[in-house]
């Protein structure tokens, strides 16, 4: 059975939540403009676990660190890998995953900036009330 785009998005959500739990701040390491889910050195795990250029060490370090060395199915069920199959609209499962990962990373960056701004505002109010 082929995966739907909805299923792929849900898998990326599951993977992002796993990274949030095991590697808080993971989204800071991913260069979204260079994210390529079909390339091990430029996929989410490649960026987070910092494989060097033109190798898949980051991807495999991530797989082993998150799931253990014998678990080869979980990268697919968590949106870290796909088969490269095309949809009728011409996009591939890699494209869908990359788009979803970029959305999730951008969301975390927006939330982080909003949290920083709120803390800055709170600090300003506290300092202002002291003087």
List pLDDT tens digits, range 47-101: 999 855 556 678 888 998 899 877 889 999 999 999 999 999 999 999 999 999 9
Percent of the residues in the chain that have a pLDDT greater than 90, as a whole number:
67
More confident residue, 41 or 1: 41
Contact 34, 105 (CB under 8 A): no
Is the confidence at residue 104, as pLDDT, over 60?
Answer: yes
Cα separation, 86 vs 129, whole angstroms: 60
- Across 61-85, b (16+ Cβ under 10 Å) vs e yields bbbeebbeeeeeebbbebbbbbeee
**What average pLDDT score do residues 2-14 get?**
94
**What average pLDDT score do residues 99-121 get?**
92
Say what the pLDDT of residue 6 is. Answer: 97
Say what the pLDDT of residue 34 is. Answer: 96
90 sits in the region (left: phi over 0; alpha: psi -120 to 50; else beta) called left
Is the confidence at residue 108, as pLDDT, over 50?
Answer: yes
Say what the pLDDT of residue 4 is. Answer: 95
* Geometric angle at alpha carbon 60, from 54 and 66, rounded to 5°: 145
Q: Which structure tokens are listed for 30?
A: 């991913």
Q: For residue 41, count other CB atoms closer than 10 A to its CB.
A: 19
Cα separation, 11 vs 9, whole angstroms: 5
């Amino acid at each position: 059975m082929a995966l739907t785009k909805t299923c792929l998005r849900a898998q990326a959500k599951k993977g992002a939540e796993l990274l949030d739990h095991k590697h808080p701040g993971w989204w800071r390491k991913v260069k979204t403009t260079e994210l390529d889910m079909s390339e091990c050195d430029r996929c989410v795990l490649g960026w987070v676990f910092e494989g060097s250029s033109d190798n898949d060490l980051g991807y495999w370090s991530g797989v082993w660190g998150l799931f253990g060395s014998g678990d080869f199915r979980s990268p697919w069920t968590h949106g870290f890998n796909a088969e490269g199959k095309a949809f009728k609209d011409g996009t591939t499962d890699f494209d869908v995953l990359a788009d979803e990962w970029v959305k999730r990373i951008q969301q975390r960056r927006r939330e982080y900036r909003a949290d920083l701004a709120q803390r800055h505002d709170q600090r300003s109010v506290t300092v202002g009330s002291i003087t």
